[in-house]
């Protein structure tokens, strides 16, 4: 990304340039299959025309990229290849304190109403024009993952990475089994959980959709989220379509610190207002577990 083809050219100043580049590129860069075929100079020009909240990586993402780069460079140095003036990335990391999820706010009732009144749920023009009102409703990640997030409180990547065989039924109760699979890991061991599906999810057609996808031979529940690179998170592919919905439905989302994670925030608030004990709330959300592995959790 910074135009060097040999490790000995990666002086400390070039690593700082890499950080600046991450902060200058459009937030959506790298999520499309053909993104890297377009010169970075063109992407940087595009970024100049975008609103501030659509440019640059979040501080946590920048820190992760820099830390991963440092691990590679330290290994290369350990193999005997000196990197000029390399002094690490600690001074380039964001010093922002606190957890990212604590900085996000829940969707309001008005936000939720506005979201689910958009064309993906009320009728759109075509598969390529999902935000244009029309008469067609497609059942796929864009239309299903948001209502699953609302009714299960699961994380974006947990839902986007579900396998067909993760939608199950036991004693007449349908549920999703959030567990590690070949497409994605989980945030922590406590995130493994079974979440029953309420009647509204069944009414909206998830089980029929699952049966159709399985009959077509797919393993992923949302096969359209598979990117060209196996290392691209499925949730990042989904985000490209989701953000178009959010930008229309929740106009001030960036200023109000609302993201897809806001589904979990509002769900957690609902549980608290309903008198659900804090230990059970955390267990439902996958923060930690107090019971046996494989126990039931519902909202």
Find out whether 117 and 131 touch, Cβ atoms under 8 Å. Answer: no
Angstrom CA distances, 292 to 93, 158, 173, 192, 267, stand at 39, 20, 19, 11, 23
H or E element in which residue 209 lies: helix 206-215
CA dihedral 157, 160, 165, 168 (to 10 degrees): 80
* Beta strand segments in the chain, E: 124-126, 129-133, 167-170, 173-178, 193-196
Which has more pLDDT, 98 or 282? 282
Residue 109, by phi and psi: left (phi above 0), alpha (psi -120 to 50) or beta?
A: alpha
Whether the full predicted model's pTM is greater than 0.95, yes or no, is no
**Per-residue pLDDT tens over the stretch 136-167:** 999 999 999 999 999 999 999 999 999 999 99
Please check whether residues 75 and 141 belong to one and the same domain. no
The pLDDT value recorded for residue 97 is 53
Token output for 279: 């230990």
pLDDT level of residue 295 (50, 70, 90 thresholds): very low
Q: What is the pLDDT of residue 111?
A: 96
Query: CA nearest 107: which of 245, 250, 227?
Result: 250
User: Up-side HSE of residue 144: CA atoms within 13 Å toward CB?
Assistant: 24
pLDDT tens digits, one per residue of 44-53: 898 888 888 7
Most confident of 101-105, 179-183, 294-298: 179-183
Residue 124 lies in a domain: yes
pLDDT of residue 113: 97
DSSP assignment, residue 249?
H
Q: Say yes or no: 55 and 158 in one domain.
A: no
d(CA 286, CA 267): 13
Q: Which of 97, 112, 147 is the last residue of a domain?
A: 97
Which of 70, 97, 124 terminates a domain? The answer is 97
**Mean pLDDT in the chain?**
86
Q: 295 or 29, which is more confident?
A: 29
Overall size of the chain counted in residues: 299
pLDDT for residue 58: 81
Judge whether residue 121 has pLDDT over 90.
yes
Work out the pLDDT band at 249, boundaries 50, 70, 90.
very high
Q: What does the pLDDT look like over 176-202, one tens digit per residue?
A: 999 998 888 887 888 899 999 999 999
> 257: which residues sit within 8 A by CB, 6+ positions away?
103, 104, 105
The predicted structure's pLDDT at residue 2: 72
Structural domains of the chain, count: 2
The rounded radius of gyration (Å) of the Cα atoms in the chain is 21
Residue 238 belongs to domain with CATH number: 1.10.443.10
Instruction: Give the end of a domain, one of 50, 69, 97.
Output: 97
3-state helix, strand, coil in the chain (%, to 5): 50, 10, 40
* Residue 28 domain boundaries: 7-97
pLDDT at 290: 43
How many Å apart are CA 36 and CA 30, to the nearest integer? 7
| 92 & 190 share domain | no
Task: Specify the 3-state DSSP secondary structure of 176.
Answer: strand
180 within a domain of the structure (yes/no) = yes
């Amino acid at each position: 990304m910074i135009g060097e083809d040999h490790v000995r050219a990666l002086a400390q100043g070039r690593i700082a340039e890499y950080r600046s580049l991450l902060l200058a590129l459009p937030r959506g860069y790298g999520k499309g299959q053909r993104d890297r075929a377009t010169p970075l100079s063109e992407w940087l020009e595009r970024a100049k025309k975008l609103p501030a909240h659509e440019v640059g990586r979040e501080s946590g993402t920048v820190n992760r990229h820099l830390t991963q780069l440092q691990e590679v460079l330290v290994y290369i140095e350990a193999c005997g290849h000196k990197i000029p003036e390399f002094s690490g990335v600690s001074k380039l990391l964001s010093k922002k304190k606190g957890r990212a999820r604590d900085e996000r706010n829940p969707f309001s009732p008005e936000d939720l109403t506005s979201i689910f009144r958009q064309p993906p749920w009320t009728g759109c023009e075509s598969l390529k024009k999902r935000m244009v009102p029309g008469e067609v409703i497609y059942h796929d990640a864009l239309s299903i993952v948001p209502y699953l997030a609302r009714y299960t409180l699961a994380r974006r990547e947990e839902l986007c990475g579900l396998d067909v065989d993760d939608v199950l039924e036991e004693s007449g109760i349908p549920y999703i089994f959030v567990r590690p699979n070949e497409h994605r890991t989980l945030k922590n061991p406590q995130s493994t959980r079974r979440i029953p599906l309420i009647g509204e999810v069944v009414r909206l057609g998830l089980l029929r959709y699952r049966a159709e996808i399985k009959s077509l031979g797919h393993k992923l529940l949302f096969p359209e989220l598979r990117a060209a690179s196996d290392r691209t998170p499925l949730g990042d592919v989904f985000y490209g379509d989701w953000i178009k919905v959010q930008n229309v439905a929740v106009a001030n989302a960036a200023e109000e610190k609302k993201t897809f994670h806001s589904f979990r925030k509002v769900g957690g608030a609902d549980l608290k207002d309903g008198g659900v004990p804090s230990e059970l709330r955390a267990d439902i959300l996958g923060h930690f577990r107090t019971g046996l592995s494989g126990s039931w959790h519902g909202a």
